[in-house]
Amino acid sequence: MMMKYKLFTGICCRLYSASIVSMNGASHRHFCSSFLTDISSPETTVTVGSQTYARDEMTNVTPHILSKVGSNLHNRKYHPLNLLKQRIRDHFYKNYVKPRGNPIFTVVDDLPPVVTIEQCFDSLLTPKDHVSRKPSDTYYVNKDHVLRTHTSAHQSDLIRMGCDQFLVIGDVYRRDTIDKSHYPVFHQCEGVRLFTERELLISKFSEQDMEGLTVFEQGPRIPAKQAPHTQDAVVLLEADLKWTLTRLAHDIFGKDIETQWVDCYFPFTHPSWELEIKYKGEWLEVLGCGVMEQEILNEAGAGNKVGWAFGLGLERWAMKMYDIPDIRLFWSQDSGFLSQFKVDDANTPIKYKPVSVHPQCYNDISFWIPDNYTENDFYDLVRGLGSDMVEQVELIDNFTHPKKGQTSHCYRITYRHMDRAVHQEEANKIHALITEAAINNLAVEVR
């Protein structure tokens, strides 16, 4: 059985274990934020939506990112992410009902994306030194607040409020590479289902057969289960979780897709799995899930229950479903794009047809990197200056001088706008600005 280690899934599928970058606290943070605002700027606050936060040495949100907060693409009528949200919601509403026919899952899709470190990481048992907390990977509003990196950030609060079955849909933010399937803002759907001992057992057994079965014990923590869970509890939760998600994938992608489960790791579930589907001949990872860590439930006042959770990236699903070739299209205001999703029934089959394909142009930039350099600083700088004109930034050469020990990176920046042509001269001008900013703000030495 394959075993993967990662914190997150969704549209962004990098292995976090492989992405640990060298950085040293304070000076790194200086580089992170220095190109976002003029260092000499007197700004002492950051405004996100209608809230204002004190800026501090951890602040690394960029104006480009802040301009996306509040867009709520998942709640925009006729937007493809909204159509997909409706389909997932309707699937759960229709298939999971109380005896009188009311849906059991509550859908929450309007929670603001600024959350505390406690919500995003601590409440989910994310280790203090985990890479997902690093400012190189996460947008900090200040030392106490981040733009949520996943919708799991709301699990504990909703459970504490008494929700036992819910879906959370929202925008999430991660500092990452730039290419056709990665954008620093994307959308996730989280699902949680809790069961009392009786609810879990009665789902599979008759009253008589249930006798003697329990879900809690004080046993060892082993790969197959957590210390407080019985093997029986895990077998039942795993079966219910996998059944629920396979059914969802079949509803959205079609009955004919093949599916497979891969063991993996998340700090907040154990055991954990990823679902892969074979879609048009290609295996694709579509979600992460697992048995919720009992400590999370205990802390949230639901210690008498057990549960499962899953998280999926809406863009990744929508790109496959609708044949959308580039993740930036979700942000397009172009009517040629949006009009293709103007359907009142979310189940209408749609295949996106590109309206116009503009030529690409590219420029390379090579520089010696300083000690505290992280690639995501450069990606944010490019994103800030090139905005949506940059299609991709690729590290095409990584060379360490054998004698000097200095490392040089060469990046190829591909310029192409979704809605209009970008000419080489225009690309050259932006490229010059990027080069200048990299020298001034990241302290690189251009070769």
Q: Which residues of this protein are in contact with ligand PHE, per CB under 6 A?
A: 8-10, 150, 152, 190, 266, 269, 288-290, 309-311
Taking the least distance from each CB to ligand PHE, the nearer of 8 and 183 is 8
Taking the least distance from each CB to ligand PHE, the nearer of 124 and 390 is 124
CA angle 115, 120, 126 (to 5 degrees): 160
Is the separation of the CB atoms in 4 and 265 below 8 Å? yes
Of 131, 62, 72, 145, give the one whose Cα is nearest residue 379.
62
Taking the least distance from each CB to ligand PHE, the nearer of 141 and 312 is 312
Of 326, 331, 389, give the one whose Cα is nearest residue 361.
389
Question: How far is the C-alpha of 389 from the C-alpha of 434, rounded, in Å?
Answer: 13
Is the separation of the CB atoms in 73 and 331 below 8 Å? yes
**Minimum Å distance from CB 381 to ligand PHE?**
25
Taking the least distance from each CB to ligand PHE, the nearer of 115 and 289 is 289
**Minimum Å distance from CB 244 to ligand PHE?**
13
Question: How far is the C-alpha of 60 from the C-alpha of 389, rounded, in Å?
Answer: 22
Taking the least distance from each CB to ligand PHE, the nearer of 108 and 213 is 108
**Minimum Å distance from CB 136 to ligand PHE?**
17
Taking the least distance from each CB to ligand PHE, the nearer of 312 and 427 is 312
Question: How far is the C-alpha of 141 from the C-alpha of 58, rounded, in Å?
Answer: 7
> What is the enclosing helix (H) or strand (E) of 250?
helix 231-253
**Minimum Å distance from CB 226 to ligand PHE?**
14
Of 302, 360, 303, give the one whose Cα is nearest residue 163.
302
**Minimum Å distance from CB 202 to ligand PHE?**
24
**Minimum Å distance from CB 123 to ligand PHE?**
12
Which residue is closest to ligand PHE by CB? 311
List of residues 6+ apart from 109 with CB closer than 8 A: 74, 75, 85, 168, 169, 170
**How far out from the chain centre does Cα 420 lie?**
29
Is the separation of the CB atoms in 180 and 360 below 8 Å? no
The SS3 assignment for 122 reads: helix
**Minimum Å distance from CB 75 to ligand PHE?**
20
Taking the least distance from each CB to ligand PHE, the nearer of 201 and 236 is 236
